Amino acid sequence: MTEVHTYRPTLEQLAYTFGGNREPVLRINPGDVLRVYTEDCFGGAVRGVDDLPTQVCTFPYLNPVSGPFHVNGAEPGDTLALHFASITPARDWAVSSTFPHFGALTSTSHTATLQAPLEERVWKYDVDVAAGVVRYHARKSDFTVELPLDPMHGTVGVAPGAGESRMTIVPDAHGGNMDSPQLRAGVTVYFGVNVDGALFALGDGHCRQGAGEVTGVAVEAAMNTVVVVDLIKGVSTPWPRFESDTELMSTGSARPLEDAFRISQHDLVGWVGDLTGLEQLDAYQLVGQAGQAPVGNVCDPNYTMVASVEKAYLPRISAYQGTHDRLRGIGREHGRE
């Protein structure tokens, strides 16, 4: 029997790390549904073009997540499956910005130069869920254009292993701030479980983002999201994987960007080999000709790449014992907010 949980944190209840001391905010059984509200990456503090992030936000209180959620029975060596049944902007506006020394086309704290930062500037978007669009407004002219609404979560993950605790801004093997547009409704995400209960959390909704999140900040929005939670016992997953109705996707988060690419493609070659029985170099060859490599982010502390292949090229395979199809069914039943 599917239980449906609802969770809406106050500002004080938002979390800023994966791992650490924080008590779970809910305990959930595999198979349950979670309806969760997530605040935007600014904690809702940037509400207009005059709210500069560095003035209204305080480091490290950025990129808050809702959670952590304890999954009953989850143990190290298992895989947590989160199926995103729906992701819906909670407001009729969203914001983006430049942020000093953050983004792909600026020097940063790590790609350190002696140059002054770019100007800090905020853009406010109109969000029309019914029409399925967001509207961009230039700040220095009257140029305006509609872009497709394509809601996603930038940040989803579990507690890291080895006693680590990581800021929510960081993507790594535990997930986190992967900032990948592939993480949209209809997709199941798989994480290796590192601690009892898995302790997953999510946030950082984007109405849409470009590949690489080149400005460092997407079209940021609070979200109402429905997640179906499941557990695959005794099956490990080294790096987060995504599954849609049509694609298998592996991720890698690292620097330099080619290492994120290598991790994701390496994982996909192994996954395809496991599912199809193809010998390693045969799987490498197939992924090499059939695979895609969507760019997640090129701005966070680790960059994220996704490696994907269409299931159509892998006849008769079933990943994680058919978990995606099963959760898709539950999601269709319970998914709409």
CA dihedral for 72, 77, 81, 87, sign (positive or negative):
positive
For position 282 contacting its own copies by CB under 8 A, the verdict is yes
Rounded least distance, CB 315 to its own copies, Å: 7
Site for its own copies in 191-210 (CB under 8 A): 208-210
Phi-psi region of 97 (alpha: psi -120 to 50; beta: other; left: phi over 0): beta
Question: Could you tell me which stretch among 34-42, 165-173, 184-192, 327-335 binds its own copies (CB under 8 A)?
Answer: 165-173
Stretch 121-140 residues interacting with its own copies (CB under 8 A): 121, 123, 134, 136, 138-140
Tell which one of 10, 12, 48, 112 touches its own copies (CB under 8 A).
Answer: 112
> Of 88 and 168, which CB lies nearer to its own copies in the complex structure?
168
Q: Which is nearer to its own copies, 79 or 215 (CB)?
A: 215
Task: Check: CB of residue 202 under 8 Å from CB of residue 156.
Answer: yes
Neighbours of 132 (CB within 10 A): 11
The verdict on 323 binding its own copies (CB under 8 A) reads no
Residues with Cβ within 8 Å of 165's Cβ and at least 6 positions away in sequence, in order, are 17, 18, 19, 20, 159
Q: How far is the CB of 329 from its own copies (least distance, A)?
A: 28
> Residue 45: which residues within 8 A CB-CB, separation 6 or more?
51, 53, 56, 57
User: What is the distance between the alpha carbons of residues 72 and 209, in angstroms, rounded to a whole number?
Assistant: 34
Which CB atom, from 106 or from 323, has the smaller least distance to its own copies?
106
Tell me the residue type at 318.
S
The residue ranges of DSSP E strands in 48-148, in sequence order, are: 65-71, 79-89, 93-97, 122-128, 133-137, 144-148
45 binds its own copies per the rule CB under 8 A: no
Of the candidates 183, 213, 199, 204, the residue with the CA atom closest to the CA atom of residue 64: 204
Site for its own copies (CB under 8 A): which residue of 154, 171, 205, 291?
Answer: 291
Cβ of residue 332: shortest distance to its own copies, in angstroms?
29
Nearer to its own copies, 302 or 323 (CB): 302
Q: Which is nearer to its own copies, 185 or 269 (CB)?
A: 269
Selected from 57, 298, 327, 330, the binder of its own copies by CB under 8 A is 298
CB of 116 to its own copies, least distance (A): 7
Could you say whether residue 114 binds its own copies (CB under 8 A)?
yes
